[in-house]
Structure 1
């Protein structure tokens, strides 16, 4: 199978976290058509992202998508057999290298020990019987003889390992090459089928749309059921917004919610790269847990506004609105202790993150207090942001080395949003108590 060596660029990661939600929010606000039809654009998107398993044909209700599945399963099985053969070949090659190294090391030692034995035997024949020199020569002779015996035993084991491991390595290498080629040809077959569907997509969409009814037929019972569902549906998010802080929290919550869609694409790529191309990434997992950490922080104010935090409110839930406001007002001191601590510590973490000296950027010099704010702003240039040789700020410790300072500043943003939302909630509670309802 061909391998994948793609590494997500840092700039594309951070730009994607900003641009993708904006595009998604624009698309979600488009008016829905009266009659739902299949889309050529969506068909191409599914072909690019999930065409390898025929998802584009399933989207168009075309059963020929089933043709892709056995080929894809065969690729997965072939890659599994190839990995097993590679592991066997690696173990056998390691055994061969150890055996060859042992033979190369022990043969000269044995020859040297045999020469020493001849000298020691001649020396032993010349010394006086019963003397100290005789006992010393006997001990050295015994040591050399043991060295020869031990070396010959090691040589025998190594030669046996060499004879046993060589055919195993050759057989594993042949099986590895066979399954690798089989997976490669099956993948090329899927690519050819995708290329054909790339040209056939407009026609497939037209035929799928031709099978759709002109208008959706809804019975009276189904219409009544939908009306009941609309009545029982939870409040819309826009109903929570009473001021600009609430609207800001709603916007930020919706913005980061689309990051979950990014995770679907990234983990899909990771699974395909790992199990189809045998090329696991060194960036997918880190990119996503950093993203979810930032999502958790930014969405805190949204969860507070919409009251979607997990809580136990056995005594709180049945209270009247005024009593709830009194309880919220009394306990708000604990909230502001937490939110204020989060904001202050996040600010410290963020400043420490950009103070790490890992280049010649003036931003790190400013964060360490070596230059003033005016000097820093006046010295900034485009190269401080685009030159790959300049790595200002804290970076991760793995091979991807993504800058971590943006995430630390998102912590500051999350803390600030939480404090603002707490102020908004405090004002609402005061108004509710004043009304006396």
Structure 2
């Protein structure tokens, strides 16, 4: 495998692993916000910001964790035949089907960018009493879609390496030094 592809795999995997591990703790932010919401509704005056903050935390949690899930192969698969196939056959199928994923992610990214630019241009806000701006969460979504595209391309390169007979484990490629 060419050195630039090995470097691409190395850096994309490391970056998405790092961001995924940070995003993983976003669940605690959401739980904290919802806990505060319950406490404030019971003992104090209800907070206007808690529901939308929890929704924004949840969106950040699963969108920014998407590339990490792809990297760990934690995404859902139709496993009727897949688990019975050889590693090389799985790599062939994955190398083909990843293009559908990449196309879908590009469509999401395009729509997300259009929506984010609209939100920026018109100062779009939610229709609630708190009325937070929407462009920040739309920007997070676009970043997450872009990270998933980069990770899908990395997975494609790993599948090509398997097809060529080079063993791939995570970000380590046997037979190549990743420094």
What is the TM-score with the length of structure 2 in the denominator?
A: 0.83
User: Structure 1 segments of 4 or more deviating over 2 A?
Assistant: none
Distance in 2 (alpha carbons) for counterparts of 1:267 and 1:350: 26
Indicate which of 272, 280, 286 corresponds to 2:46: 280
How many matched pairs? 159
Measure how far apart 1:420 and its partner are: 0.2
Partner of 1:397: 127
Give the counterpart of 1:246 among 6, 10, 13. 13
Offset at 1:258?
Answer: 1.2
1:423 corresponds to 2:165: no
Q: What is the 5 A alignment of 1:33-432?
A: 243-277=10-44, 279-356=45-122, 393-432=123-162
Residue of structure 2 in register with 1:184 after alignment: none
Cα 1:327–1:354 shift into 2, 3 Å: same
Contact 2:125 2:134 (C-alpha < 8 Å) held by counterparts: yes
Cα distance change, pair 413–436 in 1 and its aligned pair in 2 (3 A): closer
Greater relative contact order, per chain length (Cα 8 Å cut-off, separation 6+): 2
Equivalent pair of 1:322/1:436 in contact (CA under 8 Å): no
Q: Tell me by how many angstroms 1:436 deviates.
A: 7.2
| Structure 2 CA distance for aligned equivalents of residues 303 and 410 of structure 1 | 17
Alpha-carbon shift at residue 404 of structure 1 (Å) = 0.9
Query: Larger C-alpha radius of gyration, 1 or 2?
Result: 1
After superposition, give the CA deviation of every residue in 1:249-276 in whole Å (9 maximum; x if it has no partner).
1111111111111122222211111112
Q: Structure 2: how far apart are the matches of 1:411 and 1:264?
A: 20
Unaligned runs of 5+ in 2: 1-8, 168-179
Give the whole-Å Cα distance in 2 for the aligned partners of 1:436 and 1:395: 50
Query: 2: distance between equivalents of 1:399 and 1:246?
Result: 41
The answer to whether the Cα contact below 8 Å between 2:92 and 2:159 also exists between their aligned partners in 1 is yes
Of residues 408-417 and 257-266 in structure 1, the stretch that sits farther from structure 2 once superposed is 257-266
Q: CA RMSD in A?
A: 1.5
Using the alignment, how far apart are the partners of 1:317 and 1:255 within structure 2? 31
Shift of 1:312: 2.4
Structure 1 unpaired stretches of 5+? 1-241, 357-392
Higher helix share: 1
- 1:434 pairs with one of 150, 157, 164: 164
Aligned mates of 1:436, 1:281 — CA distance in 2: 56
Q: Distance in 2 between matches of 1:326 and 1:436?
A: 14
Give TM-score scaled by structure 1 length: 0.35
